[in-house]
Amino acid sequence: MIKPVVAIHGGAGAMSRAAMSADAERGYRDALSHVLLGAQAVMAKGGSALDCVVHAVSLLEDCPLFNAGKGAVFTSAGTHELDASIMDGATLNSGAVANLAHVKHPVLAALAVLKHSKHVFFVAEGAEEFALAQGLEMVANDYFSTPHRREQWLRVVNDFPGQAILDHDAALAVAEQAPLDPDRKFGTVGAVAVDANGNLAAATSTGGVTNKQIGRVGDAPLIGAGCYAANRTAAVSTTGTGEMFIRMVAAYDVAAMMEYAGLSLEQAAHKVVHEKLPTIQGQGGLIAVDAMGNVTMPFNTEGMYRGYAKQGEAPFVAIYR
């Protein structure tokens, strides 16, 4: 029997240029701990790795501190489009959705695709119709808005008209009470887990990038790029410059190097994040676990909201290197 483990991330990026207050940093750490404790509770009740990652990402989607669900960034049209994916390492079944506008929990829509559809990936209106047919909770698009995200969008619109600002590209002079600079941060959330039976699962969710063109899709909902899980190798969830992670098929590449080159989880993840992605200016990080309960959380930016929890142990959370 394996000791169950869950790991989560809330995005990677540069340290805030604002003077960081202890209270503000504690808020992010407390949020990460809250999610990990919730996921631990699922495992303690005999939940599967799939149950665990769904619960963890749902909690992250509910937290306005992170760019997924409530607190998602704004598109160029002043709206929100959300993406998510999930994969079961035991069966290789997966589900993904993109460009959602009204589904409260995109990860639940991805799970519904995995469980109730012969297809893998739904987008836009078709994804919303499928989610509605599955009885998922729907909300008005402005449910995802927060004053902070609107302010962030308006800065980009005014200072960089017509541009979609990836967080690492924005040189916006603004004082923010957040451990990672919100204008230089990759906004994605994710979870990976291994349960007592050695089964793996991964899930990823995002609100995209600020002022993105309508219809743009990054790596988060793409199986193999932003999310991957296979019992024989690893469960992986990524966060970073989406287009680069797509081009590198980053999540699957970790598993592929483990299977075909015999690398350990740590070695494979390090190679992807610190050697391969930088060759095409790929910035960000990933979280991963294997069937033996090993965990790795590498990133090539200044910080990454991250943490893990082993069953029966206190959660570990961190932000900076």
Give the tens place of pLDDT for each residue, 97-154.
999 999 999 999 999 999 999 999 999 999 999 999 999 999 999 999 999 888 888 8
pLDDT given at position 19: 54
pLDDT given at position 170: 37
Average pLDDT taken over every residue of the chain: 92
Active site annotation includes 146:
no
- The stretch 77-81 carries a mean pLDDT of 95
Separation between Cα atoms, residue 169 and residue 172, nearest integer Å: 9
pLDDT given at position 165: 54
**What tokens were used for 268?**
């494979």
Q: Residue 246: is its pLDDT beyond 70?
A: yes
Q: Residue 257: is its pLDDT beyond 90?
A: yes
pLDDT above 90: percentage of residues in the chain: 80
pLDDT given at position 172: 37
- The stretch 84-105 carries a mean pLDDT of 98
- Residue-by-residue DSSP string for 253-304: HHHHHHHHH---HHHHHHIIIIIIGGGGT--EEEEEEETT--EE--BSSSEE
Name the more confident of 255 and 175.
255
- The stretch 222-243 carries a mean pLDDT of 97
Name the more confident of 167 and 215.
215
Q: Residue 9: is its pLDDT beyond 80?
A: yes
pLDDT given at position 13: 87
Separation between Cα atoms, residue 290 and residue 27, nearest integer Å: 30
Name the more confident of 318 and 210.
318
pLDDT given at position 177: 57
Q: Distances in Å between the alpha carbon of 288 and those of 189, 201, 205, 227, 281?
A: 13, 10, 16, 10, 21
With cut-offs at 50, 70 and 90, classify the pLDDT of residue 239.
Answer: very high
Write out the binding residues: 216-219, 239-242
Instruction: Answer for the pair 170, 160: CB distance below 8 angstroms, yes or no.
Output: yes
pLDDT given at position 100: 98
* Active-site residue (options: 188, 206, 210, 296): 188
pLDDT given at position 303: 92
Question: Could you report the per-residue pLDDT of 160-211, keeping only the tens digit for each?
Answer: 676 665 443 333 334 345 787 776 667 899 999 999 999 999 999 999 998 8
CA-only gyration radius of the chain, Å: 18
Domains of the chain listed by start with CATH number: 5-320 (3.60.20.30)
pTM of the model: 0.93
pLDDT given at position 321: 85
Write out the binding residues for substrate: 216-219, 239-242
- The stretch 309-321 carries a mean pLDDT of 94
Q: Distances in Å between the alpha carbon of 186 and those of 116, 249, 259?
A: 31, 17, 29
